[in-house]
Amino acid sequence: MNSGISGYVIQRLLGTIPILIGVGIVTFVLVRVLPGDPAVFYVTGPVVTQEAVQAVREALGLDQPLYLQLFHYFGQILTGDLGRSLTTGQAVTVSLMQRLPASLELSIVAMTLAIALSIPLGIIAATRLGTWSDYAIRFAATVGVSLPASVLGILLILVFYYYVGFAPDPIGRLDPFVATPQSITGFLLIDSLLAGNLEAFRSAAAQVALPALTVALVVMGPILRITRSSMVDVLTSDYIRTCRAAGFNWWTTYVRYGLRNALLPVLTTVGLIIAYLIGANVVVEKLFAWPGVGAYSIDALLASDYAPVQGYMLLMTALFVVINTMVDVLSALVDPRVRAQ
């Protein structure tokens, strides 16, 4: 990596600081204007008195002015402390780090599946422009984008689990009767292979199949459309006509030369979708009882548990900026024009 790209990466990462501060302030204010008093949830006993609620509020610091609460909150963040969940009693940083690999594994498997399906279909649609296969592929992409993830997930569960009986119970990352491998990376598929536990690997792969397919079918539409559109523009270029005139085979003409020059907008789209997916898989995680950060934040929000929600928003913002920076660097490595800019 040359000095220009290194400087660009450092500049982008430093630019995340004001973004994180802004997101922290907005999230801090929003979760506190929501209806409900979190102190009420944690008053024990047969009778809830106003004195008991006030005592809990004082213990949580909720009786202080909003600006003082915000000041203390950012002071904790600077020390790496995102607070403690009032529901579980566990540090938010620990909970997020424990659950993040589950969300990342689901997103990575889903994006791998979506890319493996959408890019070849986009190339086929572009090379057979105006034919029945082009219309069929575009129609399938439109249907995938139009169906909500909740509806699509329920349909897949009904078909593959309830009627066909092919899929396992949608109850998490691993069959409860299979021994969990030692956590090394946090990714069950990798950890089971590192431990040589093929039974756990097969169980983890079976468990992630349906939720990953649900996410993949939703996100492959935009990737397919941008691949097709970019390939259509590239196929009218002079070097593609030269490849055809020279008698190059299909792979060399459309993949080696065509796809490579059409890849830049595809990479940008994939990067945006990956960054979006990590935090947007909430519905799928809840539907398949997937123990990711999205489900964790929703449970905290329903319980008026402020710290996990704020920590989740900060984590998603940081991941979004980092992933987009990585995509920009990859685009510069792929396309010399971007590197020159």
Domain end call among 24, 48, 78: 78
Question: Is residue 204 a part of any domain in this protein?
Answer: no
Whole-angstrom Cα Rg for the chain? 24
| Same domain assignment for residues 119 and 55 | no
Which tens digits make up the pLDDT trace of 220-255? Answer: 888 888 888 888 888 888 877 888 887 788 777 877
Question: Residue 83: helix, strand or coil by DSSP?
Answer: coil
Going from the C-alpha of 246 to that of each of 167, 250, 252, 281, 298, the distances in angstroms are 49, 12, 11, 47, 58
Which tens digits make up the pLDDT trace of 264-298? Answer: 788 878 877 877 777 667 888 888 988 888 888 88
| Same domain assignment for residues 280 and 136 | yes
Question: Is residue 222 a part of any domain in this protein?
Answer: yes
| Same domain assignment for residues 221 and 325 | yes
Phi first, then psi: give them for residue 36, nearest 5 degrees: 110, 145
Q: Is the pLDDT of residue 334 over 70?
A: no
| Same domain assignment for residues 34 and 134 | no
Question: Is residue 201 a part of any domain in this protein?
Answer: no
* Biggest distance spanned by C-alpha atoms of the chain: 86
Question: Is residue 8 a part of any domain in this protein?
Answer: yes
Assign residue 274 the CATH number of its domain. 1.10.3720.10
Domain end call among 29, 44, 78: 78
Question: Is residue 194 a part of any domain in this protein?
Answer: no
With beta carbons less than 8 A apart as the criterion, state whether 82 and 96 touch: yes
Q: CA 149 to CA 293: how far, in whole Å?
A: 17
| Same domain assignment for residues 142 and 284 | yes
| Same domain assignment for residues 39 and 113 | no
| Same domain assignment for residues 57 and 108 | no
Bridge partners, residue 84, by sequence: 91
User: Domain range holding 163?
Assistant: 97-168+209-340
Give the per-residue pLDDT at 201: 92
Question: Is residue 188 a part of any domain in this protein?
Answer: no
Q: CA 199 to CA 175: how far, in whole Å?
A: 10
Which tens digits make up the pLDDT trace of 45-88? Answer: 555 667 776 777 776 677 777 778 788 878 878 887 787 787 77
Bridge partners, residue 91, by sequence: 84
Question: Is residue 128 a part of any domain in this protein?
Answer: yes
With beta carbons less than 8 A apart as the criterion, state whether 249 and 146 touch: no
Question: Is residue 143 a part of any domain in this protein?
Answer: yes
| Same domain assignment for residues 55 and 107 | no
| Same domain assignment for residues 153 and 244 | yes
Which tens digits make up the pLDDT trace of 136-187? Answer: 988 888 887 788 888 888 899 999 988 888 888 888 888 888 888 888 888 8
Quote the tokens at residue 53.
């609620």
Structural domains in the chain (count): 2
| Same domain assignment for residues 113 and 63 | no
Q: Is the pLDDT of residue 340 over 70?
A: no
Domain end call among 15, 46, 78: 78
| Same domain assignment for residues 15 and 130 | no
Residue type, 17: I
| Same domain assignment for residues 224 and 332 | yes
